[in-house]
């Protein structure tokens, strides 16, 4: 068969063409003719005379007879479709830029597995990925049409010799600015369209469909084309080692022409193609656009495919990336209303986006990160913000503080920063230790009964530490030295553990630290002893072969609960228990010396030592960390912020009845706790970022206080901890991930509940971000009205990582042992006040209310929620039923907030 002698009539999107020009002007069609059925013709010539004839004429008759029905079908599908075409260079006959993509075998296998589970093809997943790019990065609407190259063999079981390819207009309606369908439903929709494009229905004339669409277009000036992009899936090709390319369906997009940029002519300005070869998915995107813009789209396509693979139950399109039609602009769009629209194609923004996606990883839970998306809403916590801030500086030269990121910055904000970006501080490395005042050192050594040469450092206590110690004193030196219990393998003995303990104490300053007051009731110091101090003085070993390990744990914990520290030695105790059927370790460390992050650092390092290894990273010294924190503070700015925050705050004393005699704060305590199975609305909330979840929990608690105290601006204590702290002006940032010092603070929180839910949630998230700057203040409590309730939120999903970001999922010698009830609660309810004389008895606590109420919410990684409440039994006149009512009311409010958010 000669190219020059061939003339074809195509009822597709082409007209009669002379084959002499055909192979020059339309190489894509000619390649298909070459590659798709050349092999069959060759087979016939080479001896396949007994094979059945592959006649084209019957198929052509079938196509012609079904034209009207198929044209009607596709025209109906696009009848009301509207869009604004993108401007592409009109003088380019072919694609000017291209980018290659690939998916390695392991990820391809995962994709295949997910597709099999959903009953869809890989082609559907790839098509949906391209649709997502069209919606978010190009047309910014949830309703798009694109061209798909299809091929058919009549009834799909008879091979045809002749042109059996076509381009069809496929429409994807995924949603709009107010919401989109999830990935699973979108895949089913795309697969349904793929199935509809089979058989005679696949041969509809695109020219006629497009003419009919334009005639019914709303508005005088209809676009010249129904779509501007083409999608091609070549299927599975032969091995790369073979020279036979005959099975390749669409060679033109493989840039096989003499010009490396592609063929001599491209009908569409955007062409994306995929094929599988050697168990690797390969893709190529070609466009009539500058190379940097094509690379940007390529990154978006890769991210979209990743989203399709991992986010089956989340919206397929990020509505933040869509144009808002006749609706109030979102909070994010308001912030950026005056900024130029980057339309997803700015190289600088894409570089930032790539770093963000790398840092956030799976934390986003399948959420698409758009250029205007607030990063704190896609799983970026303060730890990840620290990592992102470092990478932005190292790789892109952008100095962005953690404070700015946590306050709600997005990719657009970061990438459009002026050249004179703020520079973070050097994390305290410039600070030189100040010489200890000899008189202070001598006095403290005398108070502690320690030789002066053992005093390594004396620094002021942090505000959070002060709050903990004040409450400890107020409650009769109880409740802040709770046990941490771990099971230990049988192979470990007493001496081995004692050696590891000594090494651990030498590494972590907090394990050699205690507190003393100064000459006034406001002076409070933390004193760290040198590494020469022997930690064995705080180590004991018990053996009892007549008891099981659980019995020995219970007995030892009960006995130790009644013991309180005098603070003359470091506030830590370690016990080694050896019973008939196992061994255990009990660690007690005063809560003024650890928070949720630092206790995990201690666990990690002890585990490494017990496994025979060494501590990988030496924590930043306590003295250096404290001095760094104090040096970035700006007292005047702190006071101004807290005066503003608390300007309308109301005194809020929960559970107090003025008619009843106030009982002593040293009386009995109560504690109730329960793990709840969240309702659907709450489950949906818990899938959001930790900052969004925390905001909803705080709002629900504030409304609960409003109900029980009749305060419209209730005030309560909020526990907060961050491993990144910033100066109030945002010019300096401290990275404290390598410091085992606790950054936990207790600050007054007040909120005007007359505002709308949306406004309140936004206010709370803004305040949480500001706490990275203002939580370490000394004076917030003095500016606040009296309050007696405290809210503590814990997200059990953060794992301590090394500085290079590696996870610490290593073999564990320590296995956490959860104490059973009522033993677990006994320390907080049955412990009697202690009369022991301590080194901080002079600390002023007169400003504290008589009784306190503590409300704890623990959000588990698996989505479970544990709520506990504890406090003085004197609250609520001793009626425990009222505490249960309060918990129930909180859960009801949380459900209401979740429903409105969902």
Asked if residue 288 lies in contact with residue 266, where contact means CB atoms within 8 angstroms, the answer is: yes
Give the other-Cβ count within 10 Å of 13's Cβ: 17
Q: What is the pairing mode between strands 270-277 and 229-236?
A: parallel
pLDDT of residue 324: 58
Query: Which has the minimum average pLDDT: 156-160, 746-750, 802-806, 843-847?
Result: 802-806
CA pseudo-torsion sign 120, 121, 124, 125: positive
Query: What's the whole-number mean pLDDT along residues 866-874?
Result: 92
Phi, psi (rounded to 5 degrees) for 53: -70, 140
Asked if residue 746 lies in contact with residue 718, where contact means CB atoms within 8 angstroms, the answer is: yes
Query: What's the whole-number mean pLDDT along residues 714-737?
Result: 86
Please write the tens of the pLDDT for every residue from 738-776. 888 899 999 999 999 998 898 899 889 889 988 988 999
Kindly state whether residue 836 falls inside one of the protein's structural domains.
no
The two structure tokens encoding residue 281: 């998915």
CATH number, residue 82? 3.30.559.30
pLDDT of residue 21: 36
Phi, psi (rounded to 5 degrees) for 818: -90, 120
CATH number, residue 404? 1.10.1200.10
d(CA 48, CA 41): 9
Closest to 497 measured CA to CA, from 525, 546, 535, 524: 535
Domain span at 348: 331-415
Alpha carbon separation from 2 to 6, 34, 53, 684 (Å, rounded)? 7, 11, 20, 64
Q: Check whether residue 116 and residue 82 sit in a common domain.
A: yes
> Quick one: DSSP state of residue 567?
S
Q: Check whether residue 199 and residue 243 sit in a common domain.
A: yes
Asked if residue 287 lies in contact with residue 266, where contact means CB atoms within 8 angstroms, the answer is: no
Kindly state whether residue 844 falls inside one of the protein's structural domains.
no
- Dihedral angle over CA of 105, 106, 108, 113, nearest 10: 140
Please write the tens of the pLDDT for every residue from 298-351. 988 998 998 888 878 888 888 878 875 433 333 333 334 334 445 444 677 778
Out of 321, 339, 362, pick the residue that ends a domain: 321
d(CA 590, CA 665): 20
For 649-685, the three-class secondary structure string (H helix, E strand, C coil) is CCCECCCCCCCCCCCCCCCCEEEEEEEECCCHHHHHH
Asked if residue 488 lies in contact with residue 481, where contact means CB atoms within 8 angstroms, the answer is: no
The two structure tokens encoding residue 214: 């334009």
Maximum Cα–Cα distance for the chain, whole Å?
109
Coil, strand or helix: which one is 205?
coil
pLDDT of residue 651: 96
Count H helices and E strands in the chain, helices first: 26, 26
d(CA 263, CA 252): 6
Q: Check whether residue 605 and residue 662 sit in a common domain.
A: no
Out of 623, 653, 687, pick the residue that ends a domain: 623
Q: How confident is the model at residue 370 (pLDDT cuts 50, 70, 90)?
A: confident
428 vs 901, residue with greater confidence:
901
Kindly state whether residue 187 falls inside one of the protein's structural domains.
yes
d(CA 399, CA 421): 6
d(CA 720, CA 826): 26
Q: Check whether residue 227 and residue 256 sit in a common domain.
A: yes
Q: Check whether residue 593 and residue 680 sit in a common domain.
A: no
Q: Check whether residue 593 and residue 651 sit in a common domain.
A: no
| pLDDT value at 674 more than 70 | yes
Q: Is 711 exposed, middle or buried (0-12, 13-18, 19+ CB in 10 A)?
A: buried
Q: Check whether residue 233 and residue 294 sit in a common domain.
A: yes
User: In 669-695, which positions are buried (b, 16+ CB within 10 angstroms) versus exposed (e)?
Assistant: bbbeeeeeebeebbeebbebbbbbbbb
Q: Check whether residue 312 and residue 341 sit in a common domain.
A: no
Q: Check whether residue 391 and residue 507 sit in a common domain.
A: no
Q: Residue for token digits 């990925």?
A: 129
Phi-psi map region of 179: left, alpha, beta (phi>0 left; psi -120 to 50 alpha): left
pLDDT of residue 208: 84
Please write the tens of the pLDDT for every residue from 495-538. 999 999 999 999 999 999 999 998 888 899 999 999 999 999 99
CATH number, residue 589? 3.30.559.10
Kindly state whether residue 643 falls inside one of the protein's structural domains.
yes
Whole-model pTM: value is 0.58
d(CA 547, CA 578): 9
Kindly state whether residue 815 falls inside one of the protein's structural domains.
no
pLDDT of residue 802: 43
Please write the tens of the pLDDT for every residue from 66-102. 788 888 889 889 988 888 888 876 555 567 788 888 8
Q: Check whether residue 313 and residue 340 sit in a common domain.
A: no
Out of 267, 292, 321, pick the residue that ends a domain: 321
Kindly state whether residue 222 falls inside one of the protein's structural domains.
yes
Instruction: List all residues 6 or more positions away from 528 whose beta carbon is below 8 Å from its beta carbon.
Output: 456, 457, 458, 459, 509, 512, 513, 622, 623
Alpha carbon separation from 357 to 424, 827, 869 (Å, rounded)? 22, 44, 38
Task: Determine the distance from the C-alpha atom of residue 852 to the mean position of all C-alpha atoms in its chain, rounded to a whole number.
Answer: 34
Query: What's the whole-number mean pLDDT along residues 357-368?
Result: 71
Coil, strand or helix: which one is 704?
helix
- Averaged pLDDT of the chain: 80
The H or E element spanning position 893 is: helix 880-901
CA pseudo-torsion sign 683, 685, 687, 693: negative
Please write the tens of the pLDDT for every residue from 640-651. 899 989 999 999
Length of the chain: 902
The two structure tokens encoding residue 49: 């005379």
Q: Check whether residue 105 and residue 251 sit in a common domain.
A: yes
Kindly state whether residue 218 falls inside one of the protein's structural domains.
yes
Point out which residues pair with 232 in neighbouring strands: 273
Side-chain-side CA neighbours of residue 628 (13 Å): 26
Asked if residue 486 lies in contact with residue 478, where contact means CB atoms within 8 angstroms, the answer is: no
Q: What is the pairing mode between strands 143-151 and 229-236?
A: parallel
Kindly state whether residue 830 falls inside one of the protein's structural domains.
no
| pLDDT value at 146 more than 80 | yes
Q: Check whether residue 369 and residue 448 sit in a common domain.
A: no
Phi, psi (rounded to 5 degrees) for 162: 155, 170
**DSSP states of 36-85 as a string?**
HHHHHHHHHHTT-TTSPP--SHHHHHHHHHTHHHHHHHHHHHHTT----P
As for how many domains the chain has, the answer is 4
């Amino acid at each position: 068969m000669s190219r020059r002698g061939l003339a074809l009539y195509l009822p597709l999107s082409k007209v009669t063409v002379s084959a002499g020009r055909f192979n020059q002007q339309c190489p894509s069609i000619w390649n298909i003719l070459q590659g798709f059925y050349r092999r069959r013709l060759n087979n016939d010539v080479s001896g396949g005379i007994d094979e059945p004839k592959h006649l084209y004429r019957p198929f052509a008759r079938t196509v012609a007879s079904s034209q009207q029905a198929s044209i009607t079908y596709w025209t109906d599908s696009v009848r009301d479709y509207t869009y604004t075409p993108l401007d592409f260079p009109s003088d380019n006959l072919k694609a000017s830029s291209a980018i290659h993509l690939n998916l390695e075998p392991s990820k391809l296998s995962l994709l295949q597995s997910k597709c099999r589970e959903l009953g869809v093809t890989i082609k559907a997943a790839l098509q949906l990925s391209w649709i997502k790019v069209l919606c978010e990065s190009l047309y910014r609407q949830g309703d798009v049409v694109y061209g798909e190259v299809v091929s058919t063999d009549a009834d799909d079981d008879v091979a045809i010799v002749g042109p059996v390819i076509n381009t069809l207009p496929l429409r994807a309606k995924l949603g709009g600015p107010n919401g989109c369908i999830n990935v699973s439903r979108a895949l089913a929709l795309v697969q349904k369209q793929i199935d509809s494009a089979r058989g005679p229905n696949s041969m509809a004339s695109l020219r006629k469909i497009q003419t009919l669409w334009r005639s019914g277009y709303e508005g005088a000036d209809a676009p010249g084309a129904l779509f501007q992009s083409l999608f091609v899936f070549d299927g599975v090709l032969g091995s790369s080692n073979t020279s036979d390319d005959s099975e390749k369906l669409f060679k033109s997009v493989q840039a096989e022409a003499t010009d490396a940029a592609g063929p001599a002519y491209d009908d569409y300005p955007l062409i994306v193609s995929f094929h599988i070869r050697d168990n690797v998915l390969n893709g190529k995107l070609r466009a009539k656009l500058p190379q940097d813009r094509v690379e940007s789209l390529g990154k978006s396509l890769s991210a979209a495919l990743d989203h399709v693979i991992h986010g089956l139950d989340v919206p397929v399109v990020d509505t933040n990336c869509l144009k808002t039609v006749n609706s109030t602009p979102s909070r994010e769009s308001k912030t950026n209303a005056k900024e130029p629209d980057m339309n997803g194609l700015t190289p600088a923004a894409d570089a930032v986006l790539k770093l963000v996606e790398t840092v956030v990883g799976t934390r986003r839970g399948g959420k698409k990160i758009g250029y205007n998306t607030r990063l704190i809403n896609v799983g970026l916590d303060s730890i990840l913000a620290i990592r992102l801030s470092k990478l932005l500086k190292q790789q892109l030269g952008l100095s962005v503080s953690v404070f700015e990121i946590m306050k709600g910055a997005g990719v657009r904000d970061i990438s459009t920063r002026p050249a004179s970006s703020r520079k973070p501080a050097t994390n305290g490395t410039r600070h030189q230790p100040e010489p200890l005042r000899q008189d202070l050192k001598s006095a403290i050594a005398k108070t502690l009964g320690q030789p002066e040469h053992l005093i390594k450092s004396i620094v002021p206590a942090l505000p959070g530490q002060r709050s903990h110690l004040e409450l400890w004193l107020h409650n009769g030196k109880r409740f802040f030295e709770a046990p941490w219990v771990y099971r230990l393998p049988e192979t470990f003995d007493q001496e081995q553990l004692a050696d590891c303990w000594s090494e651990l104490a030498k590494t972590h300053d907090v394990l050699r630290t205690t507190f003393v007051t100064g000459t006034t009731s406001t002076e409070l110091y933390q004193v760290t002893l040198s590494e020469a101090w022997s930690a064995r003085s705080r180590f004991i070993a018990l053996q009892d072969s007549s008891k099981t390990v659980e019995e020995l744990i219970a007995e030892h914990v009960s006995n130790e609960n009644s013991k309180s520290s005098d603070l003359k030695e470091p506030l830590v105790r370690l016990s080694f228990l050896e019973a008939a059927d196992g061994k255990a370790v009990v660690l007690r460390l005063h809560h003024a010396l650890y928070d949720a992050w630092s206790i995990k650092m201690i666990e990690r390092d002890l585990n490494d030592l017990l496994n025979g290894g060494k501590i990988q990273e030496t924590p930043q010294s306590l003295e250096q960390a404290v001095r760094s924190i104090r040096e970035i503070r700006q007292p005047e700015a702190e006071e101004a912020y807290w005066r503003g925050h608390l300007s309308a705050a109301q005194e809020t004393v929960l559970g107090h009845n003025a008619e009843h005699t106030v009982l002593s704060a040293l009386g009995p305590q109560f504690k109730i706790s329960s793990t709840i199975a969240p309702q659907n609305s709450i489950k949906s909330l818990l899938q959001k970022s930790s900052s969004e979840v925390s905001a909803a929990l705080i709002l629900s608690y504030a409304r609960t206080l409003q109900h029980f105290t009749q305060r419209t601006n209730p005030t309560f204590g909020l526990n907060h901890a961050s491993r990144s702290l910033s100066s109030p002006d945002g010019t300096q940032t401290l990275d404290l991930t390598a410091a085992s010092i606790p950054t936990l603070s207790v600050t007054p929180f007040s909120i005007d509940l007359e505002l709308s839910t949306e406004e309140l949630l936004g206010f709370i998230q803004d305040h949480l971000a500001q706490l990275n700057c203002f939580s370490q203040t000394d004076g917030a409590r003095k500016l606040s009205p009296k309050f007696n309730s405290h809210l503590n939120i814990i997200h059990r999903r953060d794992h301590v990582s090394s500085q290079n970001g590696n996870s610490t999922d290593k073999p564990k010698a320590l296995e956490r042992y959860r104490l059973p009830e009522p033993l677990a609660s006994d320390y907080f309810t049955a412990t009697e006040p202690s009369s022991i004389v301590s080194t901080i008895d002079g600390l002023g606590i007169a400003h504290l209310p008589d009784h306190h109420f503590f409300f704890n919410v623990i959000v588990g990684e698996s989505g479970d929620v544990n709520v506990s409440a504890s406090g003085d039994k004197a609250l609520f006149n001793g009626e425990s039923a009222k505490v249960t009512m309060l918990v129930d009311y909180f859960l009801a409010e949380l459900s209401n907030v979740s429903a409105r958010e969902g």
